[in-house]
Chain A
Amino acid sequence: MQERLQQLAAVIDDVLLGKPEVIRLSLACLLARGHLLIEDLPGLGKTTLAHALAKVLGLDYQRVQFTSDMLPGDILGGAVYDQQQASFRLHKGPVFTELLLADEINRTSPKTQSALLEAMEERQVSLDGQRHALPEVFFVIATQNPTEQYGTFPLPESQLDRFLMRVSIGYPTAEAEEQMLLQGGAADQLGGVQQLLNPEQLLEAQTLVSQMQVSPAVISYLQRLAQYSRDSQHFSLGLSPRGSLAVLNAAKAWAFLEGRAYVLPDDVQQVFPAVAGHRLVGRELLHPGSEHDPASYLLSQVDVLS
């Protein structure tokens, strides 16, 4: 299984060049049954990543471009009147899919945002008083454009919490970009991507990840990380219990991807910035993205060994 996953990562790596870290993180996010938020400028490969993931895993894929006039129904669907049968028929929205790419989620109104986020959390949608379960594999990749803030509704901290990870892809390296230009863009490459894992296998992997045992030493490390973020004067918002649980799950998935049956503190450290970065709020000196972003500062302060 792990070999298959390594292979899978390598295939996506061929499409999205020079970003193995992001690819691994997204895979880990998927394995931990979380959702991914990509904060990035347009044109850096968010769609490519989502598309490649969907193809490799053989997932049903939908893409929604969020706009400010969008209503919850545009995402979730609703009852539609069928003139021929003279009755209401349920129209399932784009959320009823296995992999949803929610582009520029901060462009739409909070109402629409929260409809999506609720569906992500509950993994089900209520329409007309009826509950409709979403597919068992349900993975949302949402994107945000951090620079153009005019007329947007940035997600509040409580909503950010719904995403297991927040990553940014960033510009490619010179080498990768040249190769991409030579190959004529990702779209061509996507065509040749084969399905490597079926949904059953993905579900099995997810189950294996969630069942992975974790040693008390790692648990204590996680707890100390959370405790430090709560006690330290450098943080105005510490890590919530949900946050530390998220770190644990992501670390398990990372260890799984590494082909290990147990979690090391190294796994925790690998996923920590992506998982905790958007859940921590630092004071003055710890602006996210600066040299001392809150997550790495926390990692440097807390002793790994008890």
Chain B
Amino acid sequence: MSLFAHEKVTPKAALPGLAARRWVFFSTVLCMLPQAMNMPVWMSLLAGVLLVYAGLRLNRGIAQPPRLLKVLAVLVVLVVTALSVLGKSTLLGLVMLLVMANALKLLELRTRRDVWVVVLVNCFIIAAAYLFSTSMLSGAYGVFSIVVLLASLVALHSESVTAWPVRWQPVKTAGVLLLQALPLALLMFLVFPRIGPLWSLELATPSARTGLSDSLAPGEISNLLRSDEMAFRVSFSGEPVPESMRYWRAMTFDTFDGQRWRIDGAEQSGQLSGREGNDYQVIAEPAASRWLIALTQVSSGSRGLTLFPDGTVRAPEPLQKRFTYSLALQNETPGILSPEDRQRYLQVPAGNPRARALVDQWLAQGLSQQQIVAAILQQYRQHFSYTLSPARLQGDRVDEFFFSTREGFCEHFASATGLMLRMAGIPTRLVGGYLGGEWNPYSEYLLIRQYDAHAWVEAWLDGRWQRIDPTGAVAPERVLDGVEELLQQSPGYLADQPLSMVRLEQQFALLAELRLRYQSLNYSWHRWVLGYDSRQDDLLKNWLGTLNYLKSVLLVLVPVVAVLLAIGWWLLRGRPRYRDQISLDTERLSERLSRRQPALARAAGETLQQYSCRLAEALPDHAGALGAWADAAGQVQYDVSSGANLKLYKRCLKQLNQAL
């Protein structure tokens, strides 16, 4: 009769049943699966081989593989991990090591204790998966694997689970347990302060490869045009700004050396205070740089952003993860240009004689500044064409572009315009950023992709900076309809991605609709779950007034600790507080021996004498030491009349421990 069997054996030592073993194996495979995407192929293959082997073993029995094989497997795993991590991120290496070690542990699953270890490590592996992906899908997968993992724990502890394939009872129990934990999780999510990592993760984020660079030469943005990766997502508090106004400034270039435009005067002018700046919110995708985009010149917005005198903002540090911020819309007001700035924005390199001659000619004709701008745009309109694969420029690039090739895209036009305006004595700077974006009507946000990258010019006219987009003169549809419409036929556009979703959608309308729906959902996920950090501050402030980290940590920890203490007291209140030395020693001995062989654990109803006799039978070599120890222990513990001989007992215990 097995009714009381599970009560008699100490649970740590008991063997997990077949069903429980299968559950644990299944859940481990589930937890490790997403890691295959982060590991090199051969690592995944090795892990797969280990898992298959472990699965076969677990299914048949739980005998250990030979010791030599185990040692060999550990060595192979160590070497392979070390080799594949060499020169890559340490963190990835550590995660791989954890995954492989877990697969190895599965090989020697023997007692419940081992299963607990595996389950615990699986929890870590699930959490580690979020280092690599925080998409909605991986979130859902994580929840799924946690449910299965908990179910395996339930199966381990429930004798009634003997059937496989599964009765769904363990899953049900696990689900109920998780639901019970949900309120606490929500509370933690809402109020627990987000403390940045104490170490910096040097994980290579894929998006960090593309994006604007901090210098600009004609021809470079076309690289971005080959990418449909997400760059920014923007939502507006009020009405969205009209399409023709969607010029997203990221940086301004003030120095031109004849080939490249650079940023020189990049002294930061201060930090944003976080007051009154919530006209639009931006989620920036990870990138290698600190650039952020803004619609207008910025003066107020999210706290912590670094403000520059040209009205652009940067993040406090490179965008290793998604970054959310909000800004205020600013009316452009007349200002003052300091003499140093005026000089900086008028700096012109030597060369390009034909352009200078043309500008001098215009000046001689007595054209006003406005008229010169108009004249340049007029030239573009009449003689130039927009193309993504222009001829290469050499020598005096502006001359060559303006007078010979007469084709190009935004950078070419902006660069030439900027130089000529400076020649005409108008302070000018080049602006790099994005233009337009795709409006998602379901979630009402604007999606800006890398191929929306754009360059234009700002000129100091009538005492303020005015935007001049020369590209609009030569290809107004680029400004009005977005790059997508304009470039569909252009060979350079998305040349690397023949199967790009954007291309497919141009043929299937339903696909476009589905994509917009999915993006809308994903946007909410990013905005409300992943990007909650930035909102939390405001939320907490509304509820609780100004907070610092210490205060909010205390606020969360104190009640949680109090509740846990109360539960602990409630659970432990019936337990005897004092355990005598001999009971403790015996327990330790039992635990130690049960690791060697589960059957050697002491049963609850076994007295010292009975236990030592049983052990002596199992370990005849140590019968003498066992007997001596049990006698001495019995005397110390039970003989009141003759007085306890503690020294003798300690000597016996020592001898026994050494013998074992």
Contacts and interface: CB of A to CB of B under 8 A. Distances in A.
Interface of A: 213-215, 217-218, 261-266, 269, 285, 291-292, 297, 299-306
A181 to B, nearest CB: 36
A306 B576 CA distance: 8
Given A265-B607, A301-B605, A305-B587, A217 B641 contact: no
Given A292-B1, A304-B607, A306-B576, A218 B638 contact: yes
Contact of A305 (B1, B7, B582, B641): B582
B531 interface: no
Given A215-B638, A262-B641, A306 B579 contact: yes
Interface string B1-14: 10110011000000
Given A266-B609, A266-B610, A299-B605, A306 B639 contact: no
Contacts of A306: 576, 578-580, 583
Contacts, number: 68
Contact of B605 (A217, A218, A262, A302): A302
B640 A262 contact: yes
Contacts of B7: 301
B604 interface: yes
A264 B579 CA distance: 18
Q: Which 3 A-B pairs have the closest CB atoms?
A: A305-B583, A300-B605, A262-B639
A94 to B, nearest CB: 41
Contacts of B1: 291-292
A304 B607 CA distance: 6
Given A262-B640, A264-B609, 6 more contacts: A262-B639, A264-B607, A300-B4, A302-B604, A305-B586, A306-B579
A261 B642 contact: yes
Main secondary structure of the interface of A (DSSP, over half): loop
A187 B608 CA distance: 42
Contacts of B267: none
A302 B7 CA distance: 11
Nearest to B606: A304
A292 B605 CA distance: 14
B48 interface: no
Contacts of B641: 213, 261-262
Nearest to B574: A231
Contacts of B637: 215, 217
25 contacts: A214-B640, A215-B637, A215-B638, A217-B580, A217-B637, A218-B638, A261-B639, A261-B642, A262-B640, A262-B641, A263-B638, A264-B607, A264-B609, A264-B634, A265-B608, A265-B638, A266-B607, A269-B607, A292-B3, A292-B4, A299-B605, A301-B605, A302-B605, A303-B605, A306-B578
Nearest to B580: A306
Interface residues of B, number: 28
A215 B4 CA distance: 31
Given A305-B583, A306-B579, A306-B580, A215 B640 contact: yes
B603 interface: yes
B314 to A, nearest CB: 66
A271 to B, nearest CB: 13
A263 B641 CA distance: 11
B605 A304 contact: yes
A217 B1 CA distance: 32
Contacts of B605: 269, 299-304
Contacts of B576: 306
B608 to A, nearest CB: 7
Contact of A301 (B579, B582, B604, B642): B604
Contacts of A262: 638-642
A74 B637 CA distance: 51
Contacts of B586: 305
A304 B640 contact: no
Interface string B571-603: 000001011101100110000000000000001
Contacts of A302: 604-605
A179 B61 CA distance: 50
A291 B587 CA distance: 28
A112 B640 CA distance: 44
Contact of B4 (A213, A264, A297): A297
Interface string B619-660: 000000000000000100111111000000000000000000
Contacts of A297: 4
B21 to A, nearest CB: 27
A303 B584 CA distance: 13
A291 B3 CA distance: 11
Contacts of B580: 217, 305-306
Interface in B551-579: 576, 578-579
Contacts of A213: 640-641
A2 to B, nearest CB: 15
A265 B641 CA distance: 16
Nearest to A220: B576
Contacts of A218: 638
A271 B248 CA distance: 91
Nearest to A305: B583
Interface in B233-270: none
Nearest to B635: A262
A305 B633 CA distance: 11
B3 A304 contact: no
A215 B643 CA distance: 11
Nearest to B1: A291
A285 B3 contact: yes
A4 to B, nearest CB: 21
Contacts of A303: 604-605
Contacts of B642: 261-262
A210 B51 CA distance: 66
Contact of B604 (A214, A291, A300): A300
Nearest to B634: A264
B229 to A, nearest CB: 64
A262 B638 CA distance: 7
B494 to A, nearest CB: 72
A264 B604 contact: no
